Amino acid sequence: MSIPVHRGALVSAGALLAAGTLAIGALVSVRQSALFLVGALAGVVLYHAAFGFTSSWRDFIAHGRGAGVRAQMVMLGITTAIFVPLITHGADVGLAVRGSVAPAGIPVIAGAFLFGIGMQLGGGCASGTLFSAGGGSVRMFVTLAAFIAGSVLGIRYTSLWEHAPALRPMALTELGAGPALLVSLSGFIAIYGVSTVVEAKRRGRVEPDKAAGRTTALQGPWTLVAGAVGLAVVNIATMVIAGRPWGVTAAFALWGAKFLMSIGVDVASWPYWQPAARAADLHASVLRDVTSVMNLGIMLGALAAAALAGRFAPVWRVPARSLAAAVVGGLMLGYGARIAYGCNIGAYFSGVSSTSLHGWVWLASAFSGNIIGTRLRPWFGLAV
């Protein structure tokens, strides 16, 4: 029995992807249009595998299911195994790349903790918000709008965190490729093992990673491990093409600032926009911003995936308490990401894969926030 395809949504997604690829290639560069398509691939992978960092952590916290956590470790292991040689020896073959490395300190701890709570209230992380909105979730468009607003608050008041205690940016690659890989992979294996033990103890067995229902490559659903491999490919491709790892939330701050500037707010005078590179981004087209074009690609890729799966069916009525959670969660996501040097993609996925200490600190703090957020969900009428 074939899956009914939503032809209207599929045609729209395909037309927008084709037009976007051509426009970005003509106005910016072929490289930029390639990144747009890598973003579209990410949207397809995220949607078909239902690869939500938020739901995976909630499943583990509330129900002891660890398949999503283990899939994340597979994703990190593959990506780190490629990132470390690229970062340490890329220059030897003419490949100029850099990792996602930032200071670990109070801003990361506080920001990631807020982000973790926001994940559970908003109903998604950075990538999750984009692919869910692109797939037709009206509630997630509300979360996205609040996410952008929170990002703007974060860049407006960056000075509040400038002098907070923090270490210098540190990465294991400073010790060499071998030690960096050994320590990182050992960490992934340890977390994988702990999730297995916890699941076996709480549920009596370790549940297999199986996609529900009939599965096809184009129409899904995919297993979580398939999603993990797909996202590893996305981040590696981003590193090779863009010269740096995948990120998401910096674009939200840019979008929000551009909107405020369009209605007369003097955002250019804010300290965040004083560095020359950022000032140039503020006044340039969003099509010149790598993160922006990838985010747009994610949404269109998810739209195409939802249409192929026959699941593009927006629900316009959202309960008031759920809507309130989307707003509160989105604000926490945006603000938290800006002070923590990134989100689940830029700080956690890309940071840990770059062997940055701040990525591991982000993981611990955000997971703690998810525990609180999971407990708060029933207050807003959200399922656990």
Q: Where are the alpha helices (DSSP H) in 28-105?
A: 30-48, 53-58, 67-89
Say if CB 39 and CB 294 are below 8 A apart.
yes
The CA dihedral of 336, 341, 346, 350, to the nearest 10 degrees, is -130
Say if CB 75 and CB 231 are below 8 A apart.
yes
Across the range 266-274, mean pLDDT stands at: 95
Q: At what angle do helices 177-203 and 67-89 cross, to 10 degrees?
A: 180
Q: What percentage of the chain carries pLDDT values higher than 90? A: 82
Q: What is the DSSP track for 70-87?
A: HHHHHHHHHHHHHHHHHH
Residue 262, burial from CB neighbour count under 10 angstroms (0-12, 13-18, 19+): exposed
- As a whole number of angstroms, the distance between CA 249 and CA 143 comes to 13
Say if CB 143 and CB 360 are below 8 A apart.
no
- As a whole number of angstroms, the distance between CA 342 and CA 42 comes to 18
What pLDDT does residue 212 have?
A: 61
Rg (CA), the chain: 20
Select from 345, 358, 354 the least CA-distant residue to 85: 354
What pLDDT does residue 342 have?
A: 95
Q: Is the pLDDT of residue 1 over 50?
A: no
Residue-averaged pLDDT of the chain: 94
What pLDDT does residue 214 have?
A: 63
Query: How does residue 382 score in pLDDT terms, banded at 50, 70 and 90?
Result: very high
Select from 148, 177, 298, 286 the least CA-distant residue to 235: 298
What pLDDT does residue 23 have?
A: 97
Across the range 53-73, mean pLDDT stands at: 96
| pLDDT tens-digit series, residues 143-202 | 999 999 999 999 999 888 989 999 999 999 999 999 999 999 999 999 999 999 999 999
Say if CB 333 and CB 150 are below 8 A apart.
yes
Say if CB 137 and CB 314 are below 8 A apart.
yes
Across the range 116-122, mean pLDDT stands at: 98
Structure tokens at 164: 């907070």
Q: Where are the alpha helices (DSSP H) in 66-219?
A: 67-89, 106-122, 126-134, 138-156, 177-203
Say if CB 199 and CB 190 are below 8 A apart.
no
Query: What residue ranges do the domains of the chain occupy?
Result: 7-380
What pLDDT does residue 135 have?
A: 83
Across the range 21-40, mean pLDDT stands at: 98
Q: Which residue has the tokens 């660890």?
A: 66
Q: Which amino acid is at 218?
A: L
Across the range 37-44, mean pLDDT stands at: 97
Three-state secondary-structure class, residue 18: helix
| pLDDT tens-digit series, residues 303-358 | 999 888 887 777 778 899 999 999 999 999 999 999 999 999 999 999 999 999 99
Say if CB 114 and CB 334 are below 8 A apart.
no
